[in-house]
A and B are shown apart, each in its own frame.
Chain A
Amino acid sequence: MKIIIKNGNIIDPLQNLDIKGWILVDNGKISDFGEGNPKNDFNADEVIDAENLVVSPGFIDLHVHLREPGGEGQETIETGSRAAVAGGFTSIVCMPNTTPPVDHASTVKFINLEANRVNLANVFPTGTISRKREGKELADIGELVQAGVVAITDDGSPVEDACLMRTALEYSKMFPIPIMEHCEELQLKNEGVMNEGFFSTKLGLRGIPSACEDVMIARNVILAKYTGGRLHISHLSTKNGTQIIRDAKNQGVNVTCEVTPHHLTLTDEALSDFDTNFKMNPPLRTESDRQALAEGLVDGTIDAIATDHAPHTITSKNVEFDYAPDGVIGLETALPAVFTKLVKEDKIISLSQLIELLSTKPAKIINQKNKGSLKKGADADITLFDIKSQYSIDSEKFFSKSRNCPFNGNKVYGKVVQTIVAGKTKFETGKIGN
């Protein structure tokens, strides 16, 4: 099966490529590409005209909650995969805080089997650091790695026990995976529900100090330095945290980090109406934190944009603020949210840098050498999107099972038009296909 994509604005940061040209896909791989028009159509089975579209290596989301097994009312591997390809994500890394948690190889097998049946995006499972995600003893990390996890994390909770964290960082050095850590010092969090600052003061909502995240990032960075282990900081949200990671990278610590579209584009002021669709963990921080995160993207301190896609039912979110669960969905809004604010409006990063953060670098973090690029021989995971026309985000049209979206109604740029996974179109102009 051959596909040829023509007339596209092809951007591949790994190859430093930014051309108007064509790509030939053969048997699920990138077979060739070039500038201008191809000499012939290579007897392609399908010709895609990408005029006015950006052609990018498929997006890779390092942080997705698919909720299955156990939380199928919120999302499933199938609905989450549909949301992924609709948002231009050809690969998603799913978090292990399910019921049961992914602390055993058999659960990894289940996710892989179901993802294969669904056959839309590439689903990369993660396993837990600790057995039952209880933070007490290590899970069978080696078995999890053999079953195919690309990282281990107790996401949703921090590893409170510093000794367990040290052991995990040290033990996992023999595997090609990072430890992803949700950095939060729970004593400091003290049952807070939003960022501590002027708006928590005004709204009378319990504050979560930014220090609650910073002290845990600092602890983990120190342990990564001491052990030489490989650390990845999930959903970074603070200015000080960004600086700690910047300093650690300068010292040669093996640390990477990700930031969410909502932390890059929204602040705690958004909570002024007590709307639970702006309640998540870590919470939306201040404008000064947001700007520091954007600077972290520019200077390379931050490696990836990951959504922390956290589906919750309308019922569970439509309650008093304190009682609503943390989390927002993000798969179907990541591109327009970040493109509109940081590329088009504020001009903080270039389109090529955005693609690097959504594809090139995430591929590297989960060690996928054939992904995150359009180089010859790479997997033909390709996202085509339009950056020229404006549209409104309408959560009612999402493929996700949930609607807890903080960007609903926003007027944005950056619409995914077609998503190709392993050479097959999985999403095209509003429709999921196989």
Chain B
Amino acid sequence: MTAEEITTVLDTALSFSEVSARAIKKVPALRGKTIVNLFYEPSTRTRASFELAEKRLSADIINISTSTSSLKKGETLLDTVRNLCAYKVDVIVIRHSVAGSPLYLARNIESSVVNAGDGTHEHPTQALLDIFTLRKKLGGLKDKKIVIVGDILHSRVARSNIWGLTKLGAKVTIVGPPTFIPRLVENMNVDVSHDLFEALKDADAVNMLRIQREREKKPLFPSLREYAKIYGLNSEKMKNIPENIIVMHPGPINRGVEISSQVADGPNNVILEQVTNGLAVRMAVLFLVTGGTTLHPETLSS
């Protein structure tokens, strides 16, 4: 996505965020459109967010969630999706454990494909909602310092955030033990640090990634205890970093590991705001991929 496209999504999301504040939280923007939510990986929040976004836009939806790939049942992903597309589906929202699967699908089918997270590759709507939240809080992103902490190697949230933030002019620093830093990541225009305090001392916001031990084929750090000690954000550490720093987390939170309960629930956190904003961002994305361009008053009228 270009900076301009990102801005279009964010601006559109701003209009949609108002819908959820109404008594009747529904608009006819996607009436008559069909959307399939195809989740090959367990998901609670992203799936709920997409489903609610679709419902508030009045789309007809089908939810398919399976942790076993269709391949194991003998059917290929493409055959599964082509079967669904035979119903003249407009959008496939897909989450998949294998990087590149949404692109692979998009190349082989007519319907639009929305990436709801693919392996350790990208999670574009999460990054868009993070950026939406930051833009709202900071006014803009130009020259703001955003720090992303945790397992960058296995984080699709980090990758999408890095692309989006740097395109909008933010300065991104990633922090974690060396085993969490993917090779040549500095070529993605980010600074790398292994020192949390050093990175945070002049930061505007920090995004604390969830530790995903399930993605490590072999352990990359000794223990959660040691990780929490060195990289976890707790109220003690908060004393030594900018007072008004914005604390983000893509969820689900491992309380006491990457972030303590006091910080997660504390005054700097925008974690639940991220969730709320996610709904508006996903409404905007679905509206735009189904051909929506301008928001006519009737699109937004209940």
Interface residues in chain A, defined as those with a beta carbon under 8 Å from any beta carbon in chain B: 187, 190-191, 196-198, 200-207, 273-274, 315, 318-323
> What would 15 more interface pairs be, CB under 8 Å, given A201-B185, A319-B76?
A191-B217, A198-B184, A201-B183, A201-B187, A202-B159, A202-B188, A204-B119, A273-B103, A274-B104, A315-B76, A320-B69, A320-B98, A321-B101, A322-B119, A323-B69
Give the size category of B's interface with A: 20 to 34
**CA separation between A200 and B154, bound complex, in Å?**
11
Q: How far is the CB of A271 from chain B (nearest CB, A)?
A: 9
Find the A residue at minimum CB distance from B78.
Answer: A318
**CA separation between A320 and B69, bound complex, in Å?**
10
Residues of B within 8 A of A191 (CB): 217
Residues of A within 8 A of B182 (CB): 200-201, 207
Residues of B within 8 A of A201 (CB): 182-185, 187-188
Q: Is B120's beta carbon under 8 Å from chain A?
A: yes
B101 touches A204 (CB 8 A): no
Residues of B within 8 A of A205 (CB): 99-100, 119-121
Residues of B within 8 A of A190 (CB): 217-218
Q: How far is the CB of B72 from chain A (nearest CB, A)?
A: 10
A320 touches B101 (CB 8 A): yes
Find the B residue at minimum CB distance from A321.
Answer: B100
B98 touches A323 (CB 8 A): yes
Q: Is B258's beta carbon under 8 Å from chain A?
A: no
Q: Is B19's beta carbon under 8 Å from chain A?
A: no
Residues of B within 8 A of A319 (CB): 71, 76-78
Task: Return the contact of A321 from the options B69, B99, B183, B187 (Cβ within 8 A).
Answer: B99
**CA separation between A191 and B218, bound complex, in Å?**
10
Task: Return the contact of B99 from the options A196, A197, A203, A318 (Cβ within 8 A).
Answer: A203
Q: Is B118's beta carbon under 8 Å from chain A?
A: yes
Q: How far is the CB of A320 from chain B (nearest CB, A)?
A: 4
CB proximity to A under 8 Å, residues B111-138? 118-122
Residues of A within 8 A of B104 (CB): 274, 320-321
A196 touches B183 (CB 8 A): yes
Q: How far is the CB of B183 from chain A (nearest CB, A)?
A: 6
How many A-B residue pairs have C-beta atoms within 8 angstroms? Tell me.
72
Residues of A within 8 A of B101 (CB): 320-321
| Pairs of residues from A and B, 7 with the lowest C-beta to C-beta distance, nearest first | A274-B100, A204-B121, A201-B182, A198-B184, A204-B120, A320-B98, A204-B99
**Given known A190-B217, A204-B118, contact A274–B183 (CB-CB < 8 A):** no
**CA separation between A380 and B183, bound complex, in Å?**
51
Mask of B62-91 contacts with A, CB within 8 angstroms, 1/0: 000000010100001110000000000000
A321 touches B98 (CB 8 A): yes
Q: How far is the CB of B234 from chain A (nearest CB, A)?
A: 30
Q: How far is the CB of A347 from chain B (nearest CB, A)?
A: 30
Find the B residue at minimum CB distance from A271.
Answer: B100
B218 touches A320 (CB 8 A): no
Point out which of A197, A207, A319 has the most chain B C-beta atoms below 10 A from its C-beta.
Answer: A319
21 contacts between A and B (CB under 8 A): A187-B218, A196-B183, A197-B184, A201-B188, A202-B188, A203-B99, A203-B100, A203-B121, A204-B159, A205-B120, A207-B182, A273-B103, A274-B103, A319-B71, A319-B77, A320-B77, A320-B96, A320-B101, A321-B101, A322-B98, A322-B99
Q: How far is the CB of B204 from chain A (nearest CB, A)?
A: 25
Mask of B154-197 contacts with A, CB within 8 angstroms, 1/0: 00100100000000000000000000001111011000000000
CB proximity to A under 8 Å, residues B196-240? 217-218
**CA separation between A207 and B119, bound complex, in Å?**
13
Residues of A within 8 A of B188 (CB): 201-202
Task: Return the contact of A318 from the options B76, B120, B217 (Cβ within 8 A).
Answer: B76
**CA separation between A198 and B159, bound complex, in Å?**
12
**CA separation between A323 and B78, bound complex, in Å?**
13
Q: How far is the CB of A277 from chain B (nearest CB, A)?
A: 12
**CA separation between A321 and B213, bound complex, in Å?**
22
Residues of A within 8 A of B217 (CB): 190-191, 206
Residues of B within 8 A of A318 (CB): 76, 78
B183 touches A207 (CB 8 A): yes
**Given known A204-B120, A204-B122, contact A320–B183 (CB-CB < 8 A):** no
Residues of B within 8 A of A204 (CB): 99, 118-122, 156, 159
Mask of B273-291 contacts with A, CB within 8 angstroms, 1/0: 0000000000000000000
Residues of A within 8 A of B218 (CB): 187, 190
Q: How far is the CB of A174 from chain B (nearest CB, A)?
A: 41
**CA separation between A205 and B187, bound complex, in Å?**
17
**CA separation between A315 and B75, bound complex, in Å?**
11
Q: How far is the CB of B46 from chain A (nearest CB, A)?
A: 16
Residues of A within 8 A of B184 (CB): 197-198, 201
Residues of B within 8 A of A202 (CB): 159, 188
**CA separation between A201 and B121, bound complex, in Å?**
8
**CA separation between A373 and B260, bound complex, in Å?**
74
**CA separation between A321 and B96, bound complex, in Å?**
11
Q: How far is the CB of A325 from chain B (nearest CB, A)?
A: 13
**CA separation between A321 and B120, bound complex, in Å?**
13
B71 touches A323 (CB 8 A): yes
**CA separation between A273 and B121, bound complex, in Å?**
12
Find the A residue at minimum CB distance from B118.
Answer: A204
Residues of A within 8 A of B98 (CB): 320-323
Point out which of A206, A274, A315 has the most chain B C-beta atoms below 10 A from its C-beta.
Answer: A274
Find the A residue at minimum CB distance from B76.
Answer: A319
Find the B residue at minimum CB distance from A201.
Answer: B182
Residues of B within 8 A of A274 (CB): 99-100, 103-104
Q: How far is the CB of A241 from chain B (nearest CB, A)?
A: 18
Residues of B within 8 A of A322 (CB): 97-99, 119
**CA separation between A319 and B72, bound complex, in Å?**
12
**Given known A204-B159, A274-B103, contact A198–B187 (CB-CB < 8 A):** yes
**CA separation between A322 and B121, bound complex, in Å?**
12
**CA separation between A202 and B156, bound complex, in Å?**
10
**CA separation between A151 and B17, bound complex, in Å?**
69
**CA separation between A196 and B181, bound complex, in Å?**
12
Find the A residue at minimum CB distance from B153.
Answer: A201
**CA separation between A190 and B71, bound complex, in Å?**
23
Q: How far is the CB of A286 from chain B (nearest CB, A)?
A: 10
